[in-house]
Amino acid sequence: MTKLLNELSITEAARGLRAQEFSVRELWDACATAAQERNPELNAFLELFDADDAAIEAAQKRIESGEAPLLCGIPLAMKDNILIEGKIASAASKMLSNYRATYDATVTRKLREDGALFIGRTNMDEFAMGSSTEHSAYGPAKNPLDTSRVPGGSSGGSSAAVAANLALAALGTDTGGSIRQPAAHTGLVGMKPTYGAVSRSGLIALGSSLDQAGPLTKSVADAKLLYDVMKGRDPLDATTIPNGTYEKKEVGALLRIGVPRHLLTDGIDEDVAARFNETLARLETEGHTLVDVSLPTSGYALPVYYVIMPAEASANLARFDGVRYGLAERGGSLLEDYLKSRTAGFGTETIRRILLGTFVLSSGYIDAYYRKADQARSVLRAEYDAAFENCDVIAFPTTPSPAFKFGDKSDPVSMYLEDIFTVTANLTGMPAISVPMGNVERDGVSLPTGIHFTAPLGADDLLFKIGALVTDETL
């Protein structure tokens, strides 16, 4: 069966473009037409961009010259918190509905230099706060596999766009699982790089010690391709790391996969646990080894995260004050200008997290909450470092359940629990990937689930290796 052009992966499209089976224009049109047709239903994009004729022609020439990078001419979707010069970047907030990016994010610039095309900016939870896109100020995005269900979040517009074949791949950002959880809920590959591996310059910040941009793709090969283009030291982000920051461990062809069984005893749907065990059993029959690992503090990772992240978010969001850009409501005094702009601009979840962050940083509580959480973070990392003495990667299910229905997690704590297995990688800075591990059935609909691997700091490439073993790809 021949695939439609918009159904291709990046690597497949790059091959077809080089073989002159189709043109950059035809590939763009296939995605743009699909996006126009399906977006009213899915709300995956907050804006679809007009075709950039000059960029399309330049990409075509570059491919014909035989010297184009693989991303050249590939239509990508960009999460709405990643700046593209001259385009609105609203982070799905009313606060920034009129904000036009004054510069390219470093990741945008790198993709652009390789000839990638941007098809639109994708829906998300406001300021990346959420796991369902239900917190978007512009209405939720829908899961293309079952539109009564969420596409995950916060990068849910990106996952919906790629899963519905409206773009070949997308960028997301991940603060506590916001790339990996939507990937799991839509049957995609989602990867969060090592903290500092990819520049954060030009991302609208949520938690600055946690945030990383990364790929949402149809294959592990595509995720690797995008990661390789985006990574690298950036003078505009002092937290980016030079090559060789972390010691490389030698890893053989056969991997040792750590499984923290003590964390997987309850709270996971039976059929999700079954897919997880089947996937691990298959890897074991292929000669890889399963190792029991112990991560005793991991049970506290989510409480730690819900101290650190709101603390950083409340500090980061203090910049939105209605003075220099964004929503600017006016009152009788400067203080009233701030109050009116922030109250009108921020949604409920954003205000909830700003208040929580203000609380954990307030004098009297900072020691009990913020400082304790910060210390626990180091302990978490030390435990992972110790576990990696005996294994190469650590495996979890990405989420305890498949995609849930809209409105099912209306109380905040139940929504926060979506990230129980993903937040630790952000707290430790370690790279992590979610790869499809098979489907489960809910209400007669077959829904994807994801297996999650964490690797040691700097061992991002190992994730592509284990991911490709699960998806049966040859990289």
Give the 3-state secondary structure of residue 32: helix
372 a catalytic residue: no
Nearer to other proteins, 289 or 294 (CB): 294
CB of 21 to other proteins, least distance (A): 40
Catalytic residue among 9, 23, 79, 159: 79
CB of 14 to other proteins, least distance (A): 33
154 a catalytic residue: yes
Residue 217: phi and psi, rounded to 5, are -140, 170
CB of 359 to other proteins, least distance (A): 6
Nearer to other proteins, 176 or 187 (CB): 176
For residue 233, what are the CA distances in angstroms to 112, 200, 240? 17, 11, 5
The C-alpha atoms of residue 79 and residue 122 are separated, in whole angstroms, by 5
Buried b (16+ CB within 10 A) or exposed e, 341-352: bbeebbbebbee
The two beta strands, 75-79 and 169-174, are parallel
Nearer to other proteins, 28 or 388 (CB): 388
178 a catalytic residue: yes
Give the 3-state secondary structure of residue 272: helix
The C-alpha atoms of residue 163 and residue 157 are separated, in whole angstroms, by 10
Task: Select from 193, 191, 200 the least CA-distant residue to 239.
Answer: 200
The C-alpha atoms of residue 421 and residue 31 are separated, in whole angstroms, by 33
CB of 117 to other proteins, least distance (A): 22
Q: In the beta sheet, which residues pair with residue 394?
A: 258, 454
CB of 214 to other proteins, least distance (A): 21
Catalytic residue among 23, 131, 155, 178: 178
Nearer to other proteins, 235 or 444 (CB): 235
Can you read off the two tokens belonging to residue 4? 């439609």
Residue 49, Ramachandran bin (φ over 0: left; ψ between -120 and 50: alpha; else beta): beta
Can you read off the two tokens belonging to residue 334? 């400067």
Nearer to other proteins, 85 or 228 (CB): 85
Which amino acid makes up residue 312? Answer: E
Catalytic residue among 23, 132, 136, 154: 154
Nearer to other proteins, 166 or 304 (CB): 304
Residues 6+ away with beta carbon under 8 Å from 114: 69, 70, 71, 72, 229
Q: CB-side exposure of 122: number of CA atoms within 13 Å?
A: 39
Nearer to other proteins, 16 or 303 (CB): 303
Q: Are 304 and 427 in contact (CB under 8 A)?
A: yes
Task: Select from 340, 355, 299, 320 the least CA-distant residue to 97.
Answer: 320
CB of 365 to other proteins, least distance (A): 7
The C-alpha atoms of residue 362 and residue 454 are separated, in whole angstroms, by 33
CB of 375 to other proteins, least distance (A): 3
Task: Select from 152, 151, 154, 175 the least CA-distant residue to 164.
Answer: 151
CB of 251 to other proteins, least distance (A): 21
Judged by the rule CB under 8 A, the positions of this chain that interact with other proteins are 85, 99-100, 102-103, 235, 238-239, 245-246, 297, 300, 302-304, 306-307, 314, 318, 321-326, 328, 333-335, 337-340, 342-343, 346, 348, 351-352, 354-356, 358-360, 362, 365, 368-369, 372-376, 378-379, 381-382, 411-413, 416, 457
> Residue 339: is it exposed, middle or buried by C-beta count within 10 angstroms (0-12/13-18/19+)?
middle
Give the 3-state secondary structure of residue 280: helix
Q: What share of the chain is helix, strand, coil (3-state, %, to 5)?
A: 40, 15, 45
Which residues are annotated as catalytic? 79, 154, 178
